[in-house]
Copies of this chain bind each other. A is one copy, B any other.
C-alpha cells in the first residue's frame, strides 16, 4: 500500500471519552483517551470533535423548565406543533428565521434559522439528542472557534506537535437528503483552500475551484463518529493542509452571494 503522505489519509476514532459535564477538563480527557488507544499525535494531525462534548463542557445546556416562551414563540410553536419553550431557545440563538414550515405528514414542523454565528441550519443548531435528561436541549458552543483554539493549544502543549482542531455539528441540506457533519469551529485548519490560479491536468487555470477543506474533514468524520454519541473525538492523519489563522465563519456564504435564503 502506498504510504506517501499525500496519497493516504487515515481516520481514527478514540474509544473511552466519558460522558462530559460542565467544567470537565476536555483536553485532558482527550489526551487520556489517546493514551488509552495507543494513539500518538504527529505534526499535521487534525483532531475532530463533535460539538456536543464541547458544548457540554462549557455548560451550553438549557433546561426547558427555565424558559418562559414569548407570545412569538407560543404562536410559532402552535403553528409548527413544537414545544414553545424549545422555539424560544431557537429564537434566542437566531439572528433571523429563514423558513418555517409544517407539512401535514410531519409530526413537528421545521424551522430553518440563521444562527447568531451565521450558520444556516435547522432549529439554530438547538438539539435534544445526547443530553442526559429529557427536557434539556444543547446549544452550539458560545464561540466554537475559540473553543477549538483552546483545545488545540492544550493538545499542542502536551504533545509538542503542530496540530489542527475541527469542531463539527450535523446539518441537513437543501436539495439533498440525509445529514452530513460540517465544521462549526476551527483552529489552524483552513476553512477552504483557494486553488484559483492553479492549473488543471491540461494546464488550464482553475478559476473558481475552492474546496471546503474543513467541511470535507467534518463530513468524513461522520464515517466513524456514530450518532449515538459514543465516539465524539477522531484523529485525522495524512491530510495535506497548511496551518493558518482560520474561522469556521469563513464557511458562511455572504447573504448577497446566496441565491437561496
State whether A129 and B204 are in contact (beta carbons under 8 Å apart), knowing that A191-B177, A209-B227, A219-B180 are contacts in the complex. Answer: yes
Q: Is there a chain B Cβ closer than 8 Å to A158's Cβ?
A: no
Copies of this chain, complex-wide, total 2
Most buried by B among A99, A219, A252, A253: A219
A110 to B: closest C-beta gap in Å: 7
Question: With the chains together, A132 CA to B170 CA distance in Å?
Answer: 39
B215 & A178 in contact (Cβ 8 Å cutoff): yes
Q: Which residue of B lies closest to A192 (CB)?
A: B178
Interface size class of A (residues with CB under 8 A): 35 or more
Is A230 an interface position by the 8 A CB rule?
yes
Contacting B at CB under 8 A, from A201-246, are 201-202, 204, 206, 209-213, 215-217, 219-220, 222-224, 227-231, 239-240
Q: Which of A11, A14, A19 has the most CB of B within 10 A?
A: A11
A-B contact pairs, 18 of them (CB 8 A): A1-B12, A2-B15, A6-B13, A19-B201, A110-B259, A119-B175, A130-B201, A132-B202, A170-B211, A175-B252, A178-B211, A178-B251, A198-B228, A200-B229, A201-B230, A209-B227, A216-B223, A217-B223
A binding-site residues for B, Cβ under 8 Å: 1-2, 6-15, 19, 37-39, 99, 101, 103, 110, 112, 119-120, 129-134, 170, 173-182, 191-192, 195, 198-202, 204, 206, 209-213, 215-217, 219-220, 222-224, 227-231, 239-240, 250-253, 256-261
